[in-house]
Amino acid sequence: MRVSRRGAVDPFIVMDVMEQARLLEASGARVIHMEVGQPGTGAPEGARVALGKALEHPLGYTVALGLPELRAGIAALYRRWYGVDLDPSRVIVTNGSSGAFLLAFSALFDAGDRVGLGEPGYPSYRQILKALSLDPVGIPASEANRLRPVPADLPDDLRGLIVASPGNPSGTMLDREALAALIDQAAQRDIAFISDEIYHGLHYDTPAVSALEVSDDVYVINSFSKYFSMTGWRIGWMVVPPDHVRLVERLAQNMFICPPHASQIAALAALDCIPELEANRAVYAENRRLMLEGLPRAGFTRIAPPDGAFYIYAEVSDLTDDSLRFASEILHGAGVAVTPGLDFDPVRGARWLRFSYARGTDDIREGLARLQAFMAAR
C-alpha cells in the first residue's frame, strides 16, 4: 500500500534507547535510566485520591476545551507563579503537550510554512512539523549563548518560532530580557511565537519567565508531565490569544473530542499538591549536584550547569564522533541508558550526549559509579 511523504519522519531516538534498555532488563540486567525525561516519582497523592473517588461515577466526554474548573485552576497557577492575571477562557486543556503542539501548528501555519526551532531542541517539534507538511528550520544556538537562541540567529522568511526555556536538552533558561528580545523580534517580523514552558517549576535558582509576562500575543504550551510528575496521564494545556480560542476549539473538537476525563480530574487535584511537588524538586536539585560533581570524574567535563529541567547536555567530541554508537556502548558496557545528541541536533549532535537526572537519587549515585568505572576501563 502507498504511504504519504508526511509519514517519513525520523525516529524519536530516546524511545529507541528505552526499547534497547527494556530488552536488556527482560534478559535480567539492571539498567540505570538516564535517557528519558520521566520523573522517578508518580502522580501526587492528592491526584490519585481524587481519581479514585471519581471512578465511583461514570466518566465520559467533557467539553473540548477541558473542564471549566481545571481551566480556572491553571489560570490561578499563573497568578501564583508569575503574577499574571489570566482569563481562564484562554486556557485550553490538551492531550499532553504533544496534543498542544498539533493544535498550535495546525492553527498557526499553512503547508510549506517555515517554522524555526532552536538546536539543540526537543526532536518531536521537527517531526510533528514535517508530518503536517511544514518546513522545520533548525536554528543553531551557540555555546557562547549557552545554547539559547538570540534574535541575531533568526533566519529570513520564518512564519513561526518555537522557543523552550528551560531548554531540552540543555536545561538553560532565557531571562526576561532575552525572552522579550525574541518575542519583540518575532512581532516585528510577523512571526508566530510559541513558548514551550513544560519544565517550568523545575528551577534551581531563579524561576523561569513565562512568555505571558511579556506579551499576550503568543502561544504558551505546558503540561502536567514534568513538574507534576504525570507523564503517563497525557494531560497538558495551552494558552492562546483571546481571538484564537474558537479557532483552536474547532480543531480540538475534531482532532481529539476532548482530553481524557480521568486525567483532567487528577490534574485538577494535582494543582493543590505543591508541597509534595516541591519535595520532588528538592530531589532533582540534589541529583543535579551529584551529576555536576560525578560526570566530570567520569570524563564528561564539557558541560554547562543547567538552570532548570533535569538534564545535562555534555559535549563529548574528545571521546567520540558518533554519539549514537557511544550511547550504545555505554548502555551495554555500563548498564546506563543515555540519549545521543543526534536526537536534539541532527547536525552537531554526533558529538553530544544528554544525561537525565529525573530518577531517584540512589539510581543517580549508582549510575554515576557505573559511568566512572566504565570510562576508567575504556
Q: CA 188 to CA 198: how far, in whole Å?
A: 26
Q: CA 300 to CA 364: how far, in whole Å?
A: 15
Contact 97, 140 (CB under 8 A): no
Contact 221, 100 (CB under 8 A): yes
pLDDT at res. 138: 97
Q: In a 3-state reduction of DSSP, which class is residue 115?
A: strand
Q: What is the mean pLDDT of residues 208-231?
A: 98
Q: How confident is the model at residue 10 (pLDDT cuts 50, 70, 90)?
A: confident
pLDDT at 11 over 90: no
Given the DSSP bridges, would you call strands 352-356 and 339-340 parallel, antiparallel or unpaired?
antiparallel
pLDDT at 28 over 90: yes
Q: What is the pTM of this model?
A: 0.95
E strands in the chain:
32-33, 91-94, 114-119, 135-140, 160-164, 192-196, 219-223, 236-239, 311-315, 336-337, 339-340, 352-356
Q: CA 102 to CA 259: how far, in whole Å?
A: 14
Backbone angles phi, psi at 118, to 5 degrees: -65, 145
Domains of the chain (ranges, CATH numbers): 5-42+275-377 (3.40.640.10), 45-272 (3.40.640.10)
Q: CA 94 to CA 221: how far, in whole Å?
A: 9
| H or E element that contains 219 | strand 219-223
Contact 139, 117 (CB under 8 A): yes
User: Considering the chain, what percentage of its residues have pLDDT values greater than 90?
Assistant: 94
> For residue 276, what are the CA distances in angstroms to 37, 47, 119?
19, 11, 33
Q: CA 308 to CA 129: how far, in whole Å?
A: 26
Backbone angles phi, psi at 44, to 5 degrees: -55, 150
Question: Mean pLDDT, the chain, as a whole number?
Answer: 96
pLDDT at res. 231: 96
Per-residue pLDDT tens digits for 96-127 = 999 999 999 999 999 999 999 999 999 999 99
Closest CA to 116 of 178, 189, 11: 189
Q: CA 219 to CA 231: how far, in whole Å?
A: 22
Per-residue pLDDT tens digits for 161-190 = 999 999 999 999 999 999 999 999 999 999
pLDDT at res. 269: 98
| Distance between first and last Cα of the chain | 47
